[in-house]
Amino acid sequence: PSLTPASAVALTLRAVGGLTTRQIARAYLVPEATMAQRISRAKRTVSGVRLDQPGDVGTVLRVLYLVFNEGYSGDIDLAAEAIRLTRQLAAVVDHPEAAGLLALMLLHHARRAARTAPDGSLVPLAEQDRGRWDTTSIAEGVDILQAALARDRLGEYQAQAAIAALHADAPTAAETDWVQIVEWYDELARLTDSPIVLLNRAVAIGEADGPRAGLAALAPLDP
C-alpha cells in the first residue's frame, strides 16, 4: 500500500508476471537502469511486509487493476497480462471480488478492437462498431459475474462489471438499459466515495431521465 502506483505495477510485472526489467522499461519508455532502480526500491519498501491479513486481497486486486489500466504499452499487452494474473488469483482465492475484477477486465477487454480508429484516436463507446466486440470474452465475463453476484457479497468490482455487462448487452447504443445502469451506479456510490463514480452516475441519470435530472444529480459534487 505504501508504493506509488507506478512502482506497484512494475514490481508486480517483474515478481509475479515474470516480465524482464528490459521489457517493463520498454513498456514505460524509460531506460532499463531507471526501471531497475525503481523495482529495487519497491522491493526494499515491501521487504518483510506480510500479505496474509484481512483486506490484503483487496490490495492485490487494486494493483492488478492498475496493471490492467496501463493498457497496451510498447510491445507488451499489459491488459492481457493483468487478465492472466487475475485469472490465476481468482482460481485460488475464495473471494467474489477477485471474480468480479476478472469479469470487469474481460468485459472491457472485449471492446479493445473497436476502441481506436485507424488514426489511433479513441472511439467513444456509443460510436463503436459493436460487431467488432469479442463476444466470447463478453460471454465469459457475464458468466463469471453472475456466479460472483449469486454469492451475495457485492463489491465495487462486481458493480462495475455489472455496468459493463449492461453496455455489452445492448445491441446498439440507443438500446442501452440506462435505468438499470443508474441502479448499479447507486450501488457503486454506496460502496465507494469516488467523485468519478458520482459523475458517471449523473451522466447515466441524464441518459435515463433527461439532462435536467442529470444536472441535478451533480449537486453532491459542488464544492
- Summarised one tens digit per residue, pLDDT across range 166-215 is 999 999 999 999 999 999 999 999 999 889 999 999 999 999 999 999 99
Mean pLDDT, rounded, for 107-128: 94
Other C-beta atoms closer than 10 Å to the C-beta of 183 total 17
Residue 56 pLDDT more than 80? Answer: no
The answer to the question of residue 195 being in a domain is yes
- Supply the range of the domain harboring residue 214: 177-223
Span 101-128, average pLDDT: 95
* Higher local confidence (pLDDT), 65 or 208: 208
Least trusted range by pLDDT, from 40-44, 54-58, 175-179: 54-58
CA atoms within 13 A on the CB side of 142: 12
Q: What pLDDT, on the 0 to 100 scale, is given for residue 58? A: 83
CA distance 69 to 78: 8
Residue 4 has what pLDDT? 79
Task: Give the chain's largest Cα–Cα span.
Answer: 54
Q: Is 192 left (phi over 0), alpha (psi -120 to 50) or beta?
A: beta
In the chain, the number of structural domains is 1
What is the secondary structure of 120-143 as a DSSP string?
Answer: SPBPPGGGS-GGGS-HHHHHHHHH
User: Which residues are registered as beta bridge partners of 77?
Assistant: 72
* CA nearest neighbour of 125 among 86, 172, 159, 79: 172
Alpha helix stretches (DSSP H) within the chain: 5-15, 21-28, 32-46, 56-69, 78-92, 96-109, 135-149, 156-169, 178-191, 195-209, 211-217
CB 144 within 8 A of CB 106: yes
Q: What is the DSSP letter of 77?
A: E
Residue 55 has pLDDT above 60, yes or no: no
| Domain assignment of residue 181, yes or no | yes
3-state secondary structure of 116: strand
Q: How far apart are the first and last CA of the chain?
A: 29
